[in-house]
Structure 1
Amino acid sequence: MKHMPSPLIDFIEGATSIRELLAPRPGYGISDYPWAKSMLGKHPLPVWQRASVWSVADKVSFIESIYLGADLGSVIINGWLDIDGKAAPFSDCLLDGQQRIGSLFDYQAGKFPVFGSYFHELTQRDQARFRNHQIGLKTCKCFDEEILKRVYDINNFAGKRHLESERAIPVTKQEDGLMDIVAQIYVPEVEFQPSQKHIEEWISFQLGLINGMSDDNPLLLEDEMTAKTLQFTR
């Protein structure tokens, strides 16, 4: 009789609120986790974690899913082990969920709007609705770096991402390309940001050009496109 392998790590599955996930941990910082490359809120990140790679469009899509009631998946956080009054290496390590948690921080900080509104513009009820929303939480207690690396790779490289052609509701190439451009308009360092109305007007303007495009009516040249984009972002 053949047997399947045992789990690499035993997880305790539960849930937590966004409020708790983003809450600070007073008295702790990067100096308490010398093995970490950086901190994401109260969560230390190991050197083998990838960087923040989600675009603004990715972040907006994720936050939209919160308000629309979609499943947010689970974040994976390692437990704590005390060794002579100090945290053992990889204590509190964030194993999975960096992109999602980073998106939550950025949205709450007002770095981009969702459904046409920045977080600080929302009613207290909607802000509380966001902060009290539940997300899955898996915790473990493993301080063997090689096992943690394997778990990280399994979680991030198992399966295959959907193709755009496999969407239940197709997105046209025009809409998809324009939304990529729109995502690039949101620059946190720039004082003026486009409102949802401006974005919708800009998309309508560009779709009008595309729909009426011919040899005698080409798309805007790059400089003209830039000027029009700047007009809608001021």
Structure 2
Amino acid sequence: MATFHKAFQVFSSTENSNSIRMPQKHLETTLYMYQVHTLASNLEKYSADPAKVCAQYPWATRFAMGHPLAPWQRPAVWTDEQKVKFITSIWMGADLGSYLVNDWYEYADQAGAFAINSEVLLDGQQRLTALEEYLLGRFGVPDASGQVRFWSELGNEERQRFLNMPFAQARVSSSDEVTLRQAYDLRAFGGTPHSEDQRASS
């Protein structure tokens, strides 16, 4: 037997209480429609002189595609299978979502070191770490015929196709660590993992 519901209305037809306030955003977020190439260029710059970059961010415990990670962020936890799936999704043109960086920096000393949380990567560590490891040849992914291929084996035409895939960058700007931690938690703890019986394809 069908259940009938009241028709949805975008706006109320009656006067509601003006005392109700829903959660407010703590940081303004700006989205930039970049490509994988942006991250690859960042990694190329980082790998040319890792010691120099580490000296600029002495508080960073790790880096992902050249972006510093704060000490309070969790470690890389993706399995090899997850990494391969993510890289394959890039090749297949899937929506990669966005990664989040703090578009704020401040010099901490005259030597050029940045203050903690400057330009820190707030969300996307697992994806960017997988991308870095793939580009550096630490694992390969199956080609169209199923044979595992490494980045070093590919010609420039295929490399260019991969690098041209869209990968948006979201930016916030804040020196307040409490607010940055809240932004991190908001992005990191919002999803529920699927179970195997919920897979849509075989």
Deviation of 1:81 (Å): 2.6
Which residue number in structure 1 is paired with residue 25 of structure 2? 7
User: For each residue in 1:204-232, what CA deviation from the matched residue of structure 2 results, as whole angstroms up to 9, or x when unmatched?
Assistant: xxxxxxxxxxxxxxxxxxxxxxxxxxxxx
Report the secondary structure of 2:95's partner residue.
Answer: coil
- Alignment partners' CA distance in 2, 1:69 and 1:41: 20
Farther off after superposition, 12-21 or 33-42: 33-42
CA distance in 2, matches of 1:119, 1:39: 20
CA distance in 1, matches of 2:97, 2:62: 23
Query: For structure 1, which runs of at least 5 residues remain unmatched after alignment?
Result: 171-234
- The match for 1:38 among 62, 67, 70 is 62
Q: Which whole-Å CA distance do the structure 1 matches of 2:40 and 2:74 have between them?
A: 20
Percent same amino acid among aligned pairs? 35
For 1:37-56, list aligned pairs within 5 A: 37-56=61-80
1:33/1:44 contact within 8 Å kept: yes
3-state SS of the aligned residue for 2:96?
coil
2:96 corresponding residue in structure 1: 72
Mapping of residues 14-163 of structure 1, within 5 Å: 14-23=32-41, 24=45, 28-83=52-107, 86=112, 87-115=114-142, 116=147, 117-163=149-195
> C-alpha distance in 2, partners of 1:168/1:41?
32
Letter in 2 for 1:72: L
Distance 1:120 1:34 in 2: 31
Which structure has more helix as a fraction of its residues? 1
How far apart, in 1, do the equivalents of 2:175 and 2:162 lie? 33
Partner SS state of residue 34, structure 1:
coil
TM-score normalised according to structure 2 size: 0.77
Mapped contact 1:80–1:88 kept (Cα < 8 A): no
TM (norm. structure 1) is 0.67
Q: Quick one: which amino acid aligns to residue 102 of structure 1? A: T
C-alpha deviation, 1:121, in angstroms? 1.6
1:16 aligned partner, one-letter code: Y
Q: Deviations over 1:94-140 (max 9, x none)?
A: 00111111111111122222122111222221111112222011011
Q: Does the CA contact (< 8 Å) of 1:77 and 1:93 recur in 2?
A: yes
Q: Aligned-pair RMSD on alpha carbons? A: 1.9
CA deviation after TM superposition for structure 1 residue 63, in Å: 0.7
Structure 2 CA distance for aligned equivalents of residues 32 and 66 of structure 1: 31
* Distance (Å, rounded) in 1 between the aligned partners of 2:189 and 2:81: 22
Distance apart, 1:47 and its partner CA: 0.9
In structure 2, C-alpha distance between the alignment counterparts of 1:45 and 1:61, rounded to whole Å: 23
